[in-house]
Amino acid sequence: MKHYLLLGLALCAPLNAVAASDEELRTLRDELKQLKENYQQRLEQLESRLQQAEQRAAEMPVAAPVAQVRSEPAASAYNPAISLILAGTYGNLQLDPAIPPTGFAMSAHSPASQGFNLGESELGFSASIDPRFRGVATLALGAAGGVSVENAFIDTTALGNGVKLRFGRFFSGLGYLNEVHAHAWDFVDQPLVYRSLWNNQLGEDGIQLKWLAPTDTFVELGAELARGRGFPGSDRTKNGSGAGVLFAHVGGDVGASHNWRVGASLHQTQQSDWQSAGVPDLLGTPGGVTDAFTGDVRTGGVDFVWKYAPDGNSSSTSLKLQGEYFRRQQSGLLSYNLATTDSYAVTQSGWYLQGVYKFMPEWRVGVRYDQLDPGTATVGALNAANVISSYGYTPRRTSVMFDYSPSEFSRLRLQFARDQSRLALPDNQMFLQYLMSLGAHGAHGY
């Protein structure tokens, strides 16, 4: 009986063990099922958070870049590009350069200098201010000492759609040569038309708007409102603007070797009591008299530039032709000898044509012809016997220059001119010039 009992226990023992494993399996299956449900919920939560984050990023595409670049101006603002232009000339002239061209005694006159002189050296600063603005300042170091502000302006850089705004003191965008700084001129001096009608260059305090069309052909439109401080305007101390400018430029390429640009400009301002000393009169008063003019001044002009470089490479040889024409109308009141006032109107004009040929990498030769037309003035009855209405003479000048540039930072120039801008006073002139550039200097315009 005892053996049967032991045998029964032995047979029943494995059955109990199998029963325990099934229970454990059910428990494990339940735990696994719960774990899967928890993970599924967790995955759904993570996927939901990811979608929300991606949506927020899509809604703020600009905020991140602005925040990143805001740190850049801090570095550039304290490290502006600095350049120094050292320039000097020696002029050998037969006549007093202070004598103005015939018929333009009442215009501005920037005569050439005789002997050794410092010329106009320049100290320039430029830097990006932040992602939206860039600043430029150019200080002119006068030959007689002293420092003047030539340019000091701010350019916008992020208006988009080809629009750029400039405000401060700048050279007007009219014509072609007006925006070019003196050290980048192709001759020692400006053409007669710039010297007589713009006092070399029109610089203004104001605001300039430019728009560059999004086309393959270069199309630029511009407008300016300014104080009117630059000749032929008169500086003013009241609200509003004293001068306005409109200009348009169009250009393009012809093949790989040619490119061109043409333009048109219109400038309008008002002169107020503009006094001119040494004006000749009908009586031939020694030393002339002092006249004063008050009235409207309107000037229109056209310009063109054509450049050639074999396959677009100007490092060895190149050719540049350019010309400009300006026509000015003045209408108002003239006070002869600051005493007799009556009406006065005149239309004057001038033009130049020049070519510069680079025949070797370091050498260039240039020829320029320029001419003025004093016009015929309409003079009121009170001054008809005093003021010369027609001089019957055409001021003109022919110049030839050679320059040698050992590098892009240095240039030496020799220039000869046959100046016949003054009636019966022809002048043979010779100039030597050096131009040296120190430090970082931005590229010049077209």
- The answer to whether residue 142 sits within a structural domain is yes
CATH number, domain of 406, equals: 2.40.160.10
Mean pLDDT confidence for 270-299: 88
28 pLDDT above the threshold of 80: no
Q: Say what the alpha-carbon torsion angle 179, 183, 189, 191 is, to the nearest 10 degrees.
A: -30
| pLDDT one-digit tens code per residue, 328-382 | 999 999 999 999 999 999 999 999 999 999 999 999 999 999 999 999 999 999 9
- The answer to whether residue 62 sits within a structural domain is no
86 pLDDT above the threshold of 50: yes
- The answer to whether residue 3 sits within a structural domain is no
Domain total of the chain: 1
Specify the pLDDT at position 13. Answer: 44
Mean pLDDT confidence for 202-209: 96
Specify the pLDDT at position 65. Answer: 40
Structure-token pair, residue 374: 């004093």
Bigger pLDDT: 34 vs 387: 387
248 pLDDT above the threshold of 70: yes
Percentage of residues in the chain with pLDDT exceeding 90? 69
Specify the pLDDT at position 213. Answer: 96
- The answer to whether residue 342 sits within a structural domain is yes
Map residue 392 onto helix, strand or coil: coil
- The answer to whether residue 198 sits within a structural domain is yes
Note the pTM of the prediction, 2 decimals: 0.80
Q: How confident is the model at residue 121 (pLDDT cuts 50, 70, 90)?
A: confident
Pick the closest to residue 125 from 109, 136, 140, 113 (CA basis). Answer: 136
100 pLDDT above the threshold of 80: yes
- The answer to whether residue 66 sits within a structural domain is no
- The answer to whether residue 10 sits within a structural domain is no
**Which residues span the domain enclosing 399?**
81-439
Specify the pLDDT at position 26. Answer: 76
- The answer to whether residue 37 sits within a structural domain is no
CA distance 336 to 291: 5
CA distance 408 to 85: 12
Structure-token pair, residue 41: 């919920």
Bigger pLDDT: 73 vs 269: 269
Bigger pLDDT: 222 vs 45: 222
3-state per-residue secondary structure call for 192-225: HHHHHHCCCCCEEEEEEEEEECCCCCEEEEEEEE
82 pLDDT above the threshold of 70: yes
